[in-house]
């Protein structure tokens, strides 16, 4: 556990990986989506609360349901991506805590505290969305995350039955590098970090 | 870019990695913290907004500043961790967008829309916190993330000058596995995922 991954792996996860805007005509088998979930589910969450829920949209019918919610600039890349993941969360995630965190009554920490439940669902559901992005890259997939869409429309189209709430979207597939933009700069260590 | 990482790497990042509660007496050199930032900074954020800010607390003085904000159950492991990272965000992150996203005026999307700015800072700052966790594991470090602390106290102690806001904490070091709890179960694919 105490070795650095090799440089090629660090490149694949972070340094060379790019948000893709165009996609090869190459599908993702459903077994790969299972493998993806079976990795990302191990990422840590507060009290193992695991509030994220995911919809993997692979079909033309599913894409058609999503399309009216998308910002104009996100339509073409999302309609052509082999899979679009809706990263969502279950506001009632705490109902699963007797199973997920069985050694204490963690359900009661949230069931009577809606503001704590909401921030916990959003923070930890977002962490799990990041785990999805990195796990996808670890499995050789490219990603394209987006928050340019109408959350209320997505919730009405996909979550009327469950009460889940959409957080952000992630296109998944094998990128076509001709669609890449030039990489934008990052903040330097000194701009983003303080040492104490 | 299209190969799976080897199984040992997937174990190190996700499957075998555990939230650590006890730490070996082994420091983290500051050069490792630089390497950590130089990986995590490449994780994607909305409009490259990069709203996260990080404080790496390594000194006894820094730990003493943090201690009064911690929940009782988080004190011992945080005081003994070689480094505790405060994952924070800059609510005025959009002031950096002319540099970070130079091809359009993205600053104006947020400067007049405080609710969009806040949700963007929190969502993307949280994504970057997850990138920190996974990048640390990729560099052979163990992690222990926590949200059991008083955010207002941390903000008063560390961010009176910058206006940054604390999000969550991550202990970093080399874990002592004698402090591990039994791993809790995860939701199954069918519980957390829908295919469309």
Query: Is residue B140 helix, strand or coil?
Result: coil
Q: Kindly state the tokens that stand for B69.
A: 């904000």
pLDDT of residue B128: 98
| Contacting A residues, span 75-94, partner chain B, CB-CB under 8 Å | none
Whether B23 has its CB under 8 Å from any CB of chain A: the answer is: no
The answer to the question of residue B12 being in a domain is: no
Given an 8 Å threshold on Cβ–Cβ distance, is A187 in contact with B61?
Answer: no
Over the stretch B1-58, which tens digit does the pLDDT of each residue have?
468 999 999 999 999 999 999 999 999 999 999 999 999 999 999 999 999 999 999 9
- Report d(CA A13, CA A136) in Å as an integer: 9
Whether A193 has its CB under 8 Å from any CB of chain B: the answer is: yes
The answer to the question of residue B149 being in a domain is: yes
pLDDT of residue A192: 98
Residue A30 has its nearest CB partner, among B181, B194, B195, at B195
Q: Which residues from chain B sit within 8 angstroms of residue A57, using beta carbons? A: 196
Residue A123 has its nearest CB partner, among B1, B30, B168, at B168
CA distances from A101 to A109, A154, B183 (A): 12, 30, 10
Give residue A92's domain range: 26-176
The answer to the question of residue A17 being in a domain is: no
- Torsion angle of alpha carbons A14, A15, A19, A23, nearest 10°? -100
Provide the number of structural domains found in chain B. Answer: 1
Given an 8 Å threshold on Cβ–Cβ distance, is A192 in contact with B30?
Answer: no
pLDDT of residue A75: 97
Min distance B124 CA to chain A CA atoms (Å) = 8
Sign of CA dihedral A123, A94, A55, B109: negative
pLDDT of residue A2: 66
- In a mutational test of the B interface, the residue from A113, A130, A157 whose CB has the highest number of chain B CBs within 10 Å is A130
Contact present, A104 and A31 (Cβ < 8 Å) = no
The answer to the question of residue B6 being in a domain is: no
Helices (H), chain B: 7-10, 30-40, 60-66, 72-80, 97-100, 107-111, 114-138, 151-158, 189-192
Q: Which residues from chain B sit within 8 angstroms of residue A71, using beta carbons? A: none
Given an 8 Å threshold on Cβ–Cβ distance, is A195 in contact with B55?
Answer: yes
The answer to the question of residue B7 being in a domain is: no
Residues of chain A with pLDDT under 70: 1-2
The answer to the question of residue B65 being in a domain is: yes
pLDDT of residue B2: 66
Closest chain A residue to the Cα of B61, Cα to Cα: A196
Residue B192 has its nearest CB partner, among A52, A123, A140, at A52
Give, in degrees to the nearest 5, the angle at Cα A112 between A110 and A118: 50
Contact present, A165 and A138 (Cβ < 8 Å) = no
CA distances from B185 to A49, A187, A195, B94, B182 (A): 10, 38, 36, 39, 10
Tally of residues, chain A? 196
Q: Kindly state the tokens that stand for A111.
A: 């069931």
Give the pairing type, strands A52-57 and B193-195: parallel
CA distances from A69 to A64, A132, A153, B103, B157 (A): 10, 22, 6, 25, 42
Residue A44 has its nearest CB partner, among B19, B167, B174, at B19
- The three state secondary structure string of chain A is CCCCCCHHHHHHHHHCCCCCCCECCCCCCHHHHHHHHHHHCCCCCHHHCCCEEEEEECCHHHHHHHHHHECHHHHHHHHHCCEEEEEEECCCHHHHHHHHCCCCCCHHHHHCCHHHHHHHHHHHHHHHHHHHHHHHHHCCCEEEEECCECHHHHHHHHCCCCCCEEEEEEEEECECHHHCCCCCCCCCHHHHEEEC
Burial of residue B70 (number of CB atoms within 10 Å: 0-12, 13-18, 19+): buried
pLDDT of residue A16: 95
Whether A16 has its CB under 8 Å from any CB of chain B: the answer is: yes
The answer to the question of residue B119 being in a domain is: yes
Closest chain A residue to the Cα of B90, Cα to Cα: A192
CATH number, domain at B152? Answer: 3.40.109.10
CA atoms within 13 A on the CB side of B83: 27
Per-residue pLDDT of chain B (196 residues; tens, 9 = 90+): 468 999 999 999 999 999 999 999 999 999 999 999 999 999 999 999 999 999 999 999 999 999 999 999 999 999 999 999 999 999 999 999 999 999 899 999 999 999 999 999 999 999 999 999 999 999 999 999 999 999 999 999 999 999 999 999 999 999 999 989 889 999 999 999 999 9
Give percent helix, percent strand, percent coil of chain B, each to the nearest 5: 50, 20, 35
pLDDT of residue B179: 87
- Report d(CA B166, CA B125) in Å as an integer: 10
Neighbouring residues of A72: CB distance < 8 A, sequence distance ≥ 6: none
Whether B16 has its CB under 8 Å from any CB of chain A: the answer is: yes
Whether B193 has its CB under 8 Å from any CB of chain A: the answer is: yes
Q: The whole model's pTM is what?
A: 0.97
Whether B143 has its CB under 8 Å from any CB of chain A: the answer is: yes
Of A136, A164, A128, A39, the closest CA to residue B189 belongs to A39
Residue A41 has its nearest CB partner, among B41, B147, B187, at B187
- Report d(CA A168, CA A158) in Å as an integer: 13
Residue B130 has its nearest CB partner, among A43, A46, A140, at A43
| Contacting A residues, span 100-139, partner chain B, CB-CB under 8 Å | 100-103, 120, 122-123, 126-131, 133-135, 138-139
- Report d(CA B64, CA B172) in Å as an integer: 17
Whether A39 has its CB under 8 Å from any CB of chain B: the answer is: yes
Query: Is residue B68 helix, strand or coil?
Result: helix
- Report d(CA A27, CA B115) in Å as an integer: 38
The answer to the question of residue A14 being in a domain is: no
pLDDT of residue B181: 84
Residue A123 has its nearest CB partner, among B17, B55, B126, at B126
């Amino acid at each position: 556990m105490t070795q650095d991954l090799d440089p090629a792996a660090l490149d694949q996860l972070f340094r060379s990986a790019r948000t893709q805007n165009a996609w090869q005509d190459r599908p993702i088998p459903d077994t790969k989506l299972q493998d993806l979930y079976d990795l990302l589910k191990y990422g840590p969450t507060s009290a193992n609360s695991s509030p994220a829920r995911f919809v993997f949209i692979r079909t033309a019918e599913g894409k058609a349901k999503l399309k009216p919610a998308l910002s104009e600039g996100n339509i073409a890349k999302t309609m052509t991506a082999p899979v679009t993941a809706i990263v969502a969360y279950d506001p009632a995630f705490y109902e699963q805590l007797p199973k997920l965190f069985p050694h204490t009554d963690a359900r009661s920490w949230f069931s009577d505290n809606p503001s704590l439940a909401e921030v916990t669902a959003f923070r930890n559901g977002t962490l799990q969305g990041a785990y999805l992005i990195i796990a996808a890259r670890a499995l050789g997939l490219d990603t394209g995350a987006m928050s340019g869409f109408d959350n209320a429309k997505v919730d009405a189209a996909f979550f009327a039955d469950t009460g889940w709430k959409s957080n952000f979207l992630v296109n998944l597939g094998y990128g076509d590098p001709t669609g890449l933009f030039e990489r934008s700069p990052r903040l330097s260590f000194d701009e983003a970090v303080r040492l104490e």
